[in-house]
Amino acid sequence: MIRVLVADDQALLRGSFRVLIDTTPGLVTVGEAADGVEAVELTRQERPDVVLMDIRMPRVDGIEATRQICAAGPTPRVLILTMFDLDDSVYAALRAGASGFLLKDVPPADLLQAIKIVAAGEGLLAPSVTRRLIAEFARLAEPRQAPSTALGGVTDREREVLSLIARGLSNKEICDHLHVGAGTVKTHIGHLLAKLHARDRAQLVIAAYESNLVRPRRG
């Protein structure tokens, strides 16, 4: 059973998410938070697997709440909800430790699938969206290190896999691109997570952009 906490300052949305989640086999809502302070407190109390986190909330916003939640341990996963597909604050939330993001107008089925994906540690949803949005978020932040320093210890093959992850390819697409098996790709990703001290796939994307391994596409 995947335990979900919903954090949003709009009661109507929280209620809608709760009904959707609680009527889906394998998912259950364990709490609702109206602001970032409540989100952090309820996360500590209820220990959910996934937190659906709005960005703009009173007292403490979703970015700071995400930072506090993720700093406390490897779980839960935080899935950011936003109204705007090019909201630069989403990039800040990913850097704070969020595992992915969704637009609030996403179809219900996609939201439910996203919760399951994030709970499984996959991070970053909808490759077609990822390719466009992550590039935009990365453009808004200055790269901090050169690849040779930031990716020390990462093999050439692992760099290739990392660059494909950053461009939004799924594991199957990476397999097809590199002509290798699924097990090989999973092994490379496991090595990358360990070497880069990344929580999940989302953090690997951030590392790829911030190290300049992958550069944002303009236009």
Question: What's the pLDDT tens digit per position in 37-73?
Answer: 999 999 999 999 999 999 888 899 998 999 999 888 7
pTM over 0.75: no
Location of each CATH 1.10.10.10 domain in the chain: 143-210
* pLDDT of the residue at 85: 55
pLDDT classification of 6: cutoffs 50, 70, 90 = very high
**pLDDT for 77-112, tens place per residue?**
999 887 765 556 667 777 788 888 787 888 899 899
Give residue for tokens 């692992």.
Answer: 158
CATH architecture of 2-125: 3-Layer(aba) Sandwich (3.40)
| Nearest C-alpha neighbor of 48 from the set 25, 22, 75 | 75
C-beta of residue 84 within 8 angstroms of C-beta of residue 187: no
**pLDDT for 138-171, tens place per residue?**
555 554 444 445 687 899 999 999 999 887 788 8
Give the CA distances from residue 121 to residues 88, 95, 139, 170, 202, in Å, rounded to whole numbers and listed in that order.
Answer: 23, 16, 25, 13, 9
* pLDDT of the residue at 212: 79
152/189 Cα distance (integer angstroms)? 16
Indicate if the pLDDT at residue 3 is higher than 90: yes
C-beta of residue 29 within 8 angstroms of C-beta of residue 21: yes
Q: State whether residue 124 is helix, strand or coil.
A: coil
CATH classification of 143-210 is 1.10.10.10, yes or no? yes
122 or 178, which is more confident: 178
Query: Of all residues in the chain, what percent carry a pLDDT higher than 70?
Result: 81
* pLDDT of the residue at 46: 92
Location of each CATH 3.40.50.2300 domain in the chain: 2-125
